[in-house]
Amino acid sequence: MITQGVKIATRCDACGGVLTRDIGQFIDRGRLWWGTEGACQSCTVAWCEQDSGSETPEEIRQALLSEHGPARLRLIGPETSPVAVLRALREVYGVTLTQAKALADELKTTGLVGTLVEMEFTAAQLRQRSVRAAVESSKPSSR
């Protein structure tokens, strides 16, 4: 399983105490998941939320990018089938063919940028279609 997370301490709105939030993304059984949980150290405020799908809430993405830096996905090796690349991108991002072509152009030139988990998930989808891809992380992370 590939995972990336961050703990954030904030002020509890209910009592003013310290609220600890654990935020993350992970890949499990071929799906991209996100989760957030929090607990106040001074009162009973607590929650846990988790979901899968193509879009992680932006607040979670930004916390991960801020803590760990972005990861870049690039194609490697010989020229690959554009059809395989487009199919993988359409499946992962749920975009139109025109949007997938724009993502494919970005992937071939500068590379796609996102969280480590997002880029590893996209790379896995490409590899399933025999498209060679590599993920470069700007900071070391736990896997």
- Do the Cβ atoms of 57 and 23 come closer than 8 Å? no
Q: What is the pLDDT of residue 140?
A: 53
Q: What is the pLDDT of residue 57?
A: 92
Q: Which of 12, 39, 67 is the last residue of a domain?
A: 67
Domain shared by 104 and 92, yes or no: yes
Is residue 143 situated within a structural domain?
no
- Do the Cβ atoms of 69 and 139 come closer than 8 Å? yes
**Would you give the DSSP letter of residue 47?**
E
DSSP 3-state of 110: coil
Q: What is the pLDDT of residue 79?
A: 74
- Mean pLDDT to the nearest integer, 25-34: 92
Nearest to 3 by CA among 17, 19, 24: 24
| Per-residue pLDDT tens over the stretch 70-90 | 999 999 977 778 999 999 999
Q: Tokens at residue 97, please?
A: 């063919």
| Per-residue pLDDT tens over the stretch 81-127 | 899 999 999 999 999 999 999 999 999 999 999 999 999 999 999 99
Range of the domain at 28: 2-67
